[in-house]
Amino acid sequence: MYVRNHMLPKDKLTTLELGEDIGSALEKINQGDFMSLPVLEGEQFKGYLMKEAIFRNYFEANGRDREEFLKNVKVNDLYSTNYKSIKEDEYAENASYLLKEWRTPFLPVFDSKGKFVGILTHNSIFNAFSEIFGLEKGTRIVVDMLDIPGQLARLSEVIRKENVNIINFAAVDAKVLDVYRVIIRVDTKDVVGLIEKIEKAGFKIGAISK
């Protein structure tokens, strides 16, 4: 799951220039219903401008004329350079960590030569993980099991013997001593039969859903 497969490419982006006035920037933000936009200087990525920063700056300057503010204040005056970037050939999992830790609206993406090629948003990451977990596909089965070597192999073997296709398989900490939770998405018409076989093998079913 590489960043390049889930980023929004540069040629699809609405962007701002450093010397652009805030009135023009705000119009672009409102037209696209954006919360922020990338700021460029030519082809170079410089940072981002958030809608919140525009309004905060305006209201903090008590009594400032609105038209004068929109015309004379430039993107260069308000944009932020507080960001982390990521390379297009990195894993998207790394991007999710950076977005969380830096609380930035998106990550600028660069190629191996340092050229700005797009952005990776929170929504992009959500869609990527939805794809990995196979959301909206098959049936979701949660199995709670003891943390004993070989348990996952036993569960997999039970499912294999039923000729059931596993769409996704993930193990997570159940936050209970010596117990972990396995979340499986399977493609089968006989869910009831599969559940019976899993339980007969000694596993505890935690939940079943679409």
Q: In the prediction, which pLDDT does 155 show?
A: 93
pLDDT at 175: 62
- Domain 139-209: assigned CATH number: 3.30.70.260
Residue by residue, DSSP assigns 143-201 as EEEE--TTHHHHHHHHHHHTT-EEEEEEEEEEEETTEEEEEEEEE-S-HHHHHHHHHHT
Q: What is the pLDDT of residues 28-71, one digit of tens each?
A: 999 999 999 999 999 999 999 999 999 999 998 877 899 999 99
Distance of alpha carbon 45 from its chain centroid, rounded?
A: 21
Q: Which position has the token pair 């340092």?
A: 114
Mean pLDDT of 146-173: 87
User: Over the stretch 113-141, which tens digit does the pLDDT of each residue have?
Assistant: 999 999 999 888 877 766 666 566 788 89
Decide: 209 and 140 in contact? Cβ < 8 Å: yes
**Residue 50 belongs to what H/E stretch?**
strand 44-50
What's 3-131's CATH class?
A: alpha beta
Percentage of the chain lying above the pLDDT 70 cut: 95
What is the per-residue pLDDT for 17? Answer: 97
Q: SS3 of 104, please?
A: coil
pLDDT at 173 over 90: no
Q: Give 67-115 pLDDT, tens digit per residue.
A: 999 999 999 999 999 999 999 999 887 888 888 787 888 999 999 999 9
pLDDT at 178 > cutoff 80 = no
pLDDT on residue 124: 84
**Distance from the Cα of residue 174 to its chain's centroid:** 23
Give the start-to-end residue ranges of the domains of the chain: 3-131, 139-209
